[in-house]
C-alpha cells in the first residue's frame, strides 16, 4: 500500500492512525447496531409474548388455573433455591448435605448498610 514500508514518514503514520481508528470505530459501531437489533428482535419480543399469554388467560377466564400454576412455580423455585443454598454450604464446608441441618433461611433485604455489605464481602473473600 505504501511505496517504502521500511521508512514510514510521520504524515503517513498519522494517516494510518486516523484511517485505522476510523475503521475500528466503524466496525464496532456496526456491531453495536447489530446488537441493538438483537435487543429489539429477541428481548422485547419475549416481553410481548409474556403479555399476550396473560391476555389469553384473562380472555379464556382461566385465572384460577393460571394462579395455581404460578404458585406451583414459585414453590418449586423456592425449593430449588433451598437446594442451591444447601449445596453451596456443603461445598464450602466440605461436608455432605446430610450432615448439615438448616433451620431457617432468611432473605436479606437489598437495603442493608454499606458497612454490612462490606463485612459480608470480606467474609466471602
Residues 38-67 that bind another protein (CB under 8 A): 38-39, 42-43, 46
Q: Grid coordinates standing for 100?
A: 448439615
What grid cell was written down for 92?
464450602
79, three cell numbers: 425449593
Q: Which three cell numbers stand for residue 7?
A: 521508512
Residue where the block lists cell 464496532: 28
Residue in 24, 56, 58, 65 binding another protein, rule: CB under 8 A:
24
Provide the minimum distance between the beta carbon of 72 and another protein in the complex, in angstroms, as a whole number.
Answer: 22
Under rule CB under 8 A, residue 25 binds another protein? yes
For another protein, which is the closer residue by CB, 16 or 91? Answer: 16
Amino acid at each position: 500500500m505504501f511505496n517504502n514500508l521500511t521508512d514510514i514518514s510521520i504524515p503517513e503514520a498519522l494517516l494510518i492512525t486516523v484511517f485505522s481508528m476510523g475503521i475500528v470505530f466503524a466496525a464496532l459501531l456496526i456491531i453495536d447496531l447489530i446488537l441493538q437489533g438483537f435487543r429489539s428482535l429477541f428481548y422485547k419480543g419475549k416481553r410481548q409474548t409474556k403479555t399476550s399469554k396473560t391476555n389469553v388467560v384473562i380472555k379464556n377466564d382461566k385465572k384460577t388455573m393460571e394462579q395455581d400454576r404460578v404458585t406451583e412455580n414459585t414453590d418449586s423455585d423456592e425449593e430449588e433455591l433451598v437446594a442451591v443454598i444447601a449445596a453451596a454450604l456443603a461445598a464450602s464446608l466440605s461436608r455432605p448435605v446430610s450432615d448439615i441441618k438448616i433451620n431457617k433461611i432468611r432473605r436479606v433485604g437489598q437495603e442493608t448498610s454499606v458497612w454490612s455489605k462490606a463485612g459480608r464481602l470480606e467474609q466471602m473473600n
